[in-house]
Amino acid sequence: MQIYVVKPGDNLSAIAQRFGITPNELVKVNRIPNPNNLVEGQTIVIPSVHAPYTIKPGDTMWLLAKRNKLKPQDLLDANPGVNPNKLRVGQSINLTVSRPPARTIEVNAYIDPLAVGGHTLPPIQAAGANLTYLSLFSYRVTPAGEIIGPDDSEIVSTARSFGEAPVLVVTNFDGTNFSPQLAHAVMSEAQVKERLIQNILNHLRARNYQGVNVDFERVRPEDRELLNGFMADVAARMRQAGYPFSTALAPKTSDWQTGEWYGAHDYRAHGQIADYVIIMTYEWGWSGGPPYAVAPIVNVRQVLDYAVTVIPRKKIMMGVPLYGYDWTLPYVAGGPWARTISPQQAIEIAAAHGVAIRYDTKLQSPWFNYRDSNGREHTVWFEDARSINAKFNLVNEYGLRGVSYWALGHDFPQNWLVLAGRFKIKKY
């Protein structure tokens, strides 16, 4: 797996020829939306180092190694008998070298049937066998301790057909936002809490789930210990019944970080209670805020720097966004929200308006500006193969359990290419 960044004057045929692959294959694996109108700064994933390779004018072993991200000695070892100082145009050499086994990680993805308009199967099928868990968002708790969820039978069966463990997500979402009042109500009344836990178990068994993820957000900071106790009670009952238990946590850089989304989330306690935790390392750039990268690497790193001091690394799943935002300028606080777009849509927008895609090397995120047909300026931040690869580097650097995507339904085929090129995916 390699990542090529389109340069001015590039065309697909020339890129394909350079890597010994057909243009059609590049289009197919990347699902390139603009094959006849490539954009400067667009990424193209080369799915593998192809062999044999035919020497072209100007080729040297050193240049070939650099171009294909190989060690020169490995390339020499893969071509015994070839004199690196006497390469001939038209000569065939082998670019396939032995590589260390890919690290095995776990991969989760959330899917929200409401957000995808009920069309849940295509995004699950697009992810294919690249997931360990598929987490259905969500079963909403009621003040009486009941849980209300979507029609999930087809989702669960499809997930299982791909070897994915279906996970039931329980939230304090009231239909418009996460409700601190609702969370307090179900956690503070013993009978209600017991009824809720039993209802979760009943649904796990009846609907053929393999685990539960509790995503309680905007919990009052003063309910922090109440939340810890609730999580411990749920975890104990799930473990007793043989179901893995996980939680979702807001991205924090210190224990007592202020704000309605952070205070109640006790990283150390969740790290002790849960089998694994999902840290939602995204939404720095969000639809109601000013233009900015959704998951800038510097911010993600700050969260992980803190998280690994209080949570076992083998329990941490780093959040990864499968989407971007398109802001209409000028940004006005409280004004119209940015439009959510997929990475594929971002490329299409850049191609349609003839603008280059830029890459912020500090934030490790692509972006561009354009002017729409009404003369309004826009800024787009999204994800591409480079930004995803940078996040995967963090998984290895910090020794994390894996990654968790929010959310299926945003078209991003390159993500799955890079993921498969970097890791083996654990299955249950």
DSSP string of 139-166, one letter each residue? EEE-TTS-EE----HHHHHHHHHTT-EE
* 211-241 tens-digit pLDDT: 999 999 999 999 999 999 999 999 999 999 9
For residues 77 and 177, state if they share a domain. no
What's the gap between Cα 137 and its chain centre?
Answer: 16
- Tell whether the torsion through CA atoms of 159, 124, 197 and 236 is positive or negative: positive
- Helices (H), ranges, 242-280: 267-273
In a domain? residue 189:
yes
CATH number of domain containing 8: 3.10.350.10
For residues 88 and 107, state if they share a domain. no
Catalytic residue among 106, 164, 217, 283, which?
217
Query: Any catalytic annotation for residue 189?
Result: no
For residues 220 and 312, state if they share a domain. yes
- Tell whether the torsion through CA atoms of 254, 258, 260 and 264 is positive or negative: positive
For residues 182 and 312, state if they share a domain. yes
Q: Kindly state the percentage of the chain with pLDDT values over 70.
A: 98
In a domain? residue 98:
no
- Helices (H), ranges, 245-296: 267-273
Split at pLDDT 50, 70, 90, the class of 100 is low
Q: Kindly state the percentage of the chain with pLDDT values over 90.
A: 83
pLDDT greater at residue 79 or residue 197: 197
Report the chain's mean pLDDT, rounded to a whole number: 94
* 110-156 tens-digit pLDDT: 999 988 887 888 999 989 889 999 999 999 999 999 999 999 999 99
CATH number of domain containing 197: 3.20.20.80
Mean pLDDT of 27-50: 91
For residues 379 and 282, state if they share a domain. yes
Question: What's the confidence (pLDDT) of residue 297?
Answer: 98
In a domain? residue 191:
yes
Question: What's the confidence (pLDDT) of residue 394?
Answer: 98
Q: Amino acid identity of 199?
A: N
For residues 49 and 138, state if they share a domain. no
- Rounded distance between C-alpha atoms, residue 356 and residue 368, angstroms: 7
- Tell whether the torsion through CA atoms of 114, 120, 122 and 125 is positive or negative: positive
Last residue of a domain, which of 93, 112, 130? 93
For residues 87 and 116, state if they share a domain. no
Residues facing residue 341 across a β-bridge: 324
Question: What's the confidence (pLDDT) of residue 54?
Answer: 84
For residues 235 and 366, state if they share a domain. yes
Q: Which domain holds residue 275?
A: 103-425
For residues 250 and 381, state if they share a domain. yes
Question: What's the confidence (pLDDT) of residue 71?
Answer: 86
CA separation, residue 283 to residues 157, 206, 305 (Å): 31, 35, 18
Tally of domains in the chain: 2
- Rounded distance between C-alpha atoms, residue 141 and residue 281, angstroms: 25
Structure tokens that stand for 367 in this block:
């972006």
**Is the model's pLDDT at 163 over the cut of 90?**
yes
**Is the model's pLDDT at 276 over the cut of 80?**
yes
Mean pLDDT of 160-184: 96
Last residue of a domain, which of 93, 120, 155? 93
Question: What's the confidence (pLDDT) of residue 310?
Answer: 98
In a domain? residue 9:
yes
Split at pLDDT 50, 70, 90, the class of 422 is very high
Mean pLDDT of 262-287: 98
- Rounded distance between C-alpha atoms, residue 427 and residue 95, angstroms: 31
